[in-house]
Structure 1
Amino acid sequence: MPGQVGPVSNEQEGLLAYLAQMRYVLRLTAHGLTDEQLRATPSASALSVGGLIKHCASTEENWLATIRREPQTVDYQQYAENFKLADDERIEDVFARYDRVAEQTEKTVTELGDLDYRIEVDHSVPWNRKDLTHWNVRWILLHLIQETARHTGHADIVRESIDGATAYPLMAAAEGWPETPWLKPWARSE
């Protein structure tokens, strides 16, 4: 996937394209990392690249359930665990889950075909606004783009703390871009 979203013909297509781009850039932060590095927490926080990717997959999955009006309960222990890549979890499995969630998000939004489709706000959790009664699909997609972008920034910092790699050199390495005078694709240091 190129570094920029391509042309879009309508709002729904644009929102889904930007969400897909953010997922992709988040995934790139894991490019070339070992299992140990995926779990590393080298910054001031307890965040890891693998944990951030897992969290974003879980968050999108929860918002998808919200759009579908599927019953949910908030499990605060599970919420905390979604920020950690457990010892028995593999990044490939997290990526596969994220791919399934992304496919279902796009399918659900496309089938609904209505960005104004309303969903009641769950007021049982403290982070939801008490002055609103409904979200719409548009708001949820914008929120997912924001959430994924925020955590991609966290993952960028964690990744740079691990081995100095940054977004465009990682993208160049993952996509096989040629080296230029101003951009050298990332390569594992020996």
Structure 2
Amino acid sequence: MSTMATTETTLTGERSDLFQALANARHFLRFTVRGLSDSQAAQRTTDSELTPGGLIKHVTAVEKQWQEFIVKGRAAMAWDGADFSKMPPEAVEAFQNEFRMLREECLDELLENYAQVAARTDALLAEVDMDTVHELPKAPWFVDTHWTVRRTLLHIIAETTQHAGHADIIRESLDGQKTMG
């Protein structure tokens, strides 16, 4: 992506390292879906509900939400303090659909949306104060109570990397293709 390359050339030190780590994670995630049809990208190949297209969709949504957290803090997280066991069925379905590639969705559009979200994260990385601290929302999966912008960016990198690994397993189960090896 040209936006990523442009951002990379203007960054130095820590910002450059974070940018490159995120660019590498994104590359491996996108690489796993190369050459897939829409129907293949929507196909489950393991016991998991995850699909290659669903993972692209999920990582896009997660990265976008953490962008908002970087800018607005805890107020950006709509689910802050929510009792997940009492969510209405339509909210549960909407959350589950974040992990699925739906029939009306196409992989190229999901990848384009991901590229747009990635470009915004890259722009934030170039200018944001890395030491800004935000209180985390209330959720059962957070051990910490506060994150710096730096820690939030590290989380985006970790999330992307983790899901690139999931996508690699799913792709290998689909047609034998691997990201490496």
| TM band (smaller chain) | 0.7 to 0.9
State the partner residue of 1:116.
Answer: 131
Matched-pair contact (CA < 8 Å) for 2:25–2:161: yes
Higher helix share: 2
RMSD, matched Cα: 2.1
Matched-pair contact (CA < 8 Å) for 2:44–2:51: yes
AA aligned opposite 2:172? E
For the residue of structure 2 that corresponds to 1:119, the secondary structure is strand
- The CA distance in 2 between the partners of 1:79 and 1:126, in whole Å, is 16
For the residue of structure 1 that corresponds to 2:180, the secondary structure is helix
State the partner residue of 2:175.
Answer: 163
Runs of 4+ in 1 over 2 A off after TM superposition: 74-79
Tell whether 2:43 aligns with 1:40: yes
For the residue of structure 2 that corresponds to 1:110, the secondary structure is helix
Tell whether 2:108 aligns with 1:96: no
- The CA distance in 1 between the partners of 2:92 and 2:133, in whole Å, is 26
Which structure 1 segments of 5+ residues have no match? 170-190
- The CA distance in 1 between the partners of 2:117 and 2:92, in whole Å, is 21
AA aligned opposite 1:142? L
AA aligned opposite 1:60? E
Matched-pair contact (CA < 8 Å) for 2:25–2:160: yes
State the partner residue of 2:78.
Answer: 73
Matched-pair contact (CA < 8 Å) for 2:33–2:53: yes
The structural deviation recorded for 1:79 is: 2.3
Matched-pair contact (CA < 8 Å) for 2:77–2:137: no
Bigger Rg over Cα:
1
The structural deviation recorded for 1:162 is: 0.6
For the residue of structure 2 that corresponds to 1:68, the secondary structure is helix
State the partner residue of 1:53.
Answer: 56
Higher relative contact order (CA 8 A, sep 6+): 2
Matched-pair contact (CA < 8 Å) for 1:39–1:48: yes
State the partner residue of 1:151.
Answer: 163
Matched-pair contact (CA < 8 Å) for 1:28–1:167: yes
- The CA distance in 2 between the partners of 1:80 and 1:51, in whole Å, is 10
AA aligned opposite 1:145? I
State the partner residue of 1:182.
Answer: none
1:78 and 1:16, CA in 2 relative to 1: closer, same or farther beyond 3 A? farther
Tell whether 2:15 aligns with 1:12: yes
The structural deviation recorded for 1:76 is: 4.3
- The CA distance in 1 between the partners of 2:132 and 2:149, in whole Å, is 6
1:116 and 1:155, CA in 2 relative to 1: closer, same or farther beyond 3 A? same
Q: TM-score scaled to structure 2, two decimals?
A: 0.82
Deviation sequence 1:58-109 (CA, Å, 0-9, x none): 1000000111116331354332111001100111111111111111111112
AA aligned opposite 1:54? K
Q: TM-score scaled to structure 1, two decimals?
A: 0.78
Matched-pair contact (CA < 8 Å) for 1:16–1:141: no
- The CA distance in 1 between the partners of 2:94 and 2:19, in whole Å, is 27
- The CA distance in 2 between the partners of 1:118 and 1:78, in whole Å, is 30
